[in-house]
Structure 1
Amino acid sequence: MRILLIEDEAGMATALRTVLEREGIVVDHVANAADAREAARSGTADLILLDRTLPDGDGLALIPGIRRDSPGVPIIVISARGDVTDRVSGLDTGADDYLPKPFAMEEMLARVRAVRRRPASVSVQLVQLGNLAYDLANDEATVDGDRLNLPRRELLVLAALMRRRGRTVPRNALEDAVYGFDDEIQSNTLDSHVSRLRKRLSEAGGAVEIHAIRGVGYLLRQTP
């Protein structure tokens, strides 16, 4: 799962990022509305955490553009402006949820999970290829019904490949799905994750293979 965090307060952003990454979530952080518009247009976020009070405007003003460019992406507003009128305004503008500050991190995580479970948050809840299945809502992979315990990066690689199963996924698209804006990526890092994922799938009896398309990317397909 990948979250776009739009928050200008450095301390809050660090705390949120730490908690989310501990849950295996990739976090992209921006601190103003201008950068948020650009990041949202990339279409890589599975969910957006949006602070209202940004240095260059009200965060709610971003919602119509996000809804136009990425209609299925859930948006949770986080704000110190927690009066009833503020919450109603946020929800009426198009947010899926509104969480007043201060809040407990456990509640924030629960709301993220709840919003992701809603049918509108993803067009397809479960994707399958052979005996391999991936639950997009809960970020869980199974082979013949048995859950695969994968490290976070390998799980993100698998999710990206499963979303485009049977088609070649370019390297840059995989890197965008797996790494945050601030991550430093070594030239062979992605290949290492793919190699380990390939081994884990084989050991679990997955009837699939990850085929390298030289100079382009990777293709996940059912074993002939």
Structure 2
Amino acid sequence: MAVSEKKVTGKFYRIWSTADKLWHRISFWTHANDVEFNDGKTAQTKVGAIKGITTSTNTAETGYAADATTVTTLNQSVTTLNQSVTELNQSLGNLKTDLNLNGLSNIKIDAGTVVKEVKSGNNSFVLFNFQQVAEIFGLQTLSATDIVILVSNGDGKAFPVHLEGVTFMNNSWYVVFKDILQGDMNCRVQYIMFYCKH
């Protein structure tokens, strides 16, 4: 037979104690599976899997809920980390702008060694001409302002002269040195050449 019933909440029961002449408010033991939430789920379903509350941020075992103070600390740490990442991104952005890193894809580099014959009475010699540089980089068009060449003397005994640098003139790049040669010599040049389209 169906039983007509009404759920009563917020009530308690009192029992008179003759021992201390006081009313005792009695709490009844209730199983977690008997406590029902408004959505129809029991307390066991809702929170039964929680083993406890912890303030530790190193807990590796599942089932523990974080204390509110721990959550606050973590949120502050995340906020600080986000600020640091933002500042780092800004710094990297400035670095990219300063170095023009967007143009790195246009840079080509060639390095090597070459022996050049230098005639007596000169203080320079042609390292490469325009066509040779264009062929080295596989270019159809070339501007002298797109090329930078660094050199060093690869054999100081064979060519005992200090190389001062490279000068572009007459559609060629000349290795320049201070003294006028008094005889024909061979010079081994170690070079690194950069192409960067402006």
More strand by share: 2
TM-score, structure 2 length as denominator? 0.20
More helix by share: 1
- Per chain length, whose mean CA-contact separation is higher, i.e. which structure has more relative contact order (CA < 8 Å, sep 6+)? 2
Q: Give the number of the structure whose alpha-carbon radius of gyration is greater.
A: 2
TM-score, structure 1 length as denominator? 0.19
